[in-house]
Amino acid sequence: MFQPQSRTGSLSMTPSILLNDDRSEKVRYTFPGYPVYIRRGLLSLYPDYRAPNHWHDDVELICILSGQMQYNINGEIVTMKSGEGIFVNSGQMHFVFSDSESECDFLCILFHPMLLCSMYPFESDFILPLIRNSRMPYSLLFPEIDWQEEILSLLRRLFSENEELSRNRQAKNTIPLFALSAFARIWGLLCEHAPEDTGTDHAPSQDLVIMKNMVGFIQKNYRNKITLAQIAAAGAVGQSKCCRLFARYYSQTPGEYLTHYRLDKSVELLRNMDLSITEIALSVGFSNASYYAETFRKWLKISPSEMRKRWQKTADNK
């Protein structure tokens, strides 16, 4: 879900999303060679306090340090406040946002389930049953429930250990090893308390597959002119169903999603001082700079040039 800017889990700027061939997110792990990702983030670092919708094979764990956020999983919206968190299973479409544009300070930790597959019995007996559990696309984590608080505590400790080692250049980086231990414990707790999966069909929802195809098409082609007909065709559905699915899963029209995604990508480019506003506008799919600036201000309540000055000020203060 989120791009780390360094080895540490420190606060980072607006994340970007890279896609695999199957249109899932290509997670850029914190530690080369280990499918582990640790980051602390602020919701205000996202344009309009809304991250792009995405999915990945990694499981995602969020721990709220302060404030609150809304979390959309496959079109279902939950609200989390300080001290709470969430586990999001592999392959679920999700994004964080705040309709009220309220700040939220949070930890985001991802790991690929393959990390726990040292032997086939672990995979067949513990990993696959939880990943395929149709009754557990996600699980909210509350500090009042002992086993859930243990998970939240492990997330906070994992982040703290990573921060401490990142400040000590002489220390040997053992975070991936500790992460393996922590994730094994977390997985064990989730397996122990997972609802019984009585269903026999573990295939993903057809509508969810359609949405992944349509969103993937937009994310692959956002630089070009895209029509509603093309988006619908990517999901092999009619335009009316395309619009209904976007409203159900994102509370947006396809056009609004496309515009928001283009703005997200443009924010990243504003940090590159070698690119003009016009070059950025054209590179992310806007027809001209004035329409881009007008749309940018309408959605983000600030102009592109003003945001660029903020990036520059931030860089100068480092």
Of 61, 66, 103, 98, which Cα lies nearest the Cα of 82?
Answer: 66
Amino acid at 310: R
What are the CA-CA distances from residue 83 to residues 27, 109, 143, 154, 251 (Å)? 26, 15, 6, 13, 27
**Structural tokens at position 83:** 């001290």
Burial class (CB in 10 A: 0-12, 13-18, 19+), 125: exposed
Domain C-terminal end among 193, 222, 249: 193
Q: How would residue 69 be classed by pLDDT, with cut points 50, 70 and 90?
A: very high
pLDDT of residue 12 exceeding 50? no
Measured CA to CA, the distance from residue 205 to residue 213 in angstroms comes to: 13
pTM metric for this prediction: 0.76
Measured CA to CA, the distance from residue 36 to residue 40 in angstroms comes to: 14
Per-residue pLDDT tens for 124-172?
Answer: 899 999 998 988 999 999 999 999 999 999 999 999 988 887 777 666 6
Residue 26 counted as domain residue: no
Do 146 and 248 fall into the same domain? no
pLDDT of residue 260 exceeding 60? yes
Residues 6+ apart with CB under 8 A from 256: none
Measured CA to CA, the distance from residue 32 to residue 30 in angstroms comes to: 7
Do 77 and 155 fall into the same domain? yes
Do 148 and 230 fall into the same domain? no
pLDDT of residue 4 exceeding 50? no
Do 109 and 182 fall into the same domain? yes
Do 226 and 274 fall into the same domain? yes
Do 79 and 180 fall into the same domain? yes
Residue 9: its pLDDT value, please?
42
Per-residue pLDDT tens for 278-307?
Answer: 999 999 999 999 999 999 998 888 899 988
User: Strand, helix or coil at 223?
Assistant: coil
CB atoms closer than 10 angstroms to residue 38: 27
State which of 43-47, 175-179, 281-285 shows the largest mean pLDDT. Answer: 281-285
Residue 8 counted as domain residue: no
Amino acid at 263: L
Residue 7 counted as domain residue: no
H or E element in which residue 217 lies: helix 206-221
Residue 304 counted as domain residue: yes
Do 211 and 159 fall into the same domain? no
Residue 272: its pLDDT value, please?
77
Residue 164 counted as domain residue: yes
Domain C-terminal end among 164, 193, 222: 193
Residue 236 counted as domain residue: yes
Measured CA to CA, the distance from residue 61 to residue 58 in angstroms comes to: 10
Residue numbers of the domain that contains 291: 206-316
Residue 67 — left, alpha, or beta (φ > 0 → left; ψ -120 to 50 → alpha)? left
CATH of the domain at 71: 2.60.120.280
What are the CA-CA distances from residue 141 to residues 147, 214, 240 (Å)? 9, 31, 37
CB atoms closer than 10 angstroms to residue 48: 15
Residue 173 counted as domain residue: yes
- The structural domain count of the chain equals 2
Domain C-terminal end among 172, 193, 214: 193
Do 172 and 257 fall into the same domain? no
Residue 1 counted as domain residue: no
Residue 163: its pLDDT value, please?
87
CATH of the domain at 239: 1.10.10.60
User: Strand, helix or coil at 65?
Assistant: strand
Do 65 and 90 fall into the same domain? yes
114 contacts 103 by C-beta, under 8 angstroms: no
Render the burial of 269-298: b for 16+ CB within 10 Å, e for the rest: bbbeeeeebeebbeebbbeebeebbebbee
User: Strand, helix or coil at 28?
Assistant: coil
Do 174 and 286 fall into the same domain? no
H or E element in which residue 42 lies: strand 36-42
Do 119 and 173 fall into the same domain? yes
Do 144 and 216 fall into the same domain? no
215 contacts 198 by C-beta, under 8 angstroms: no
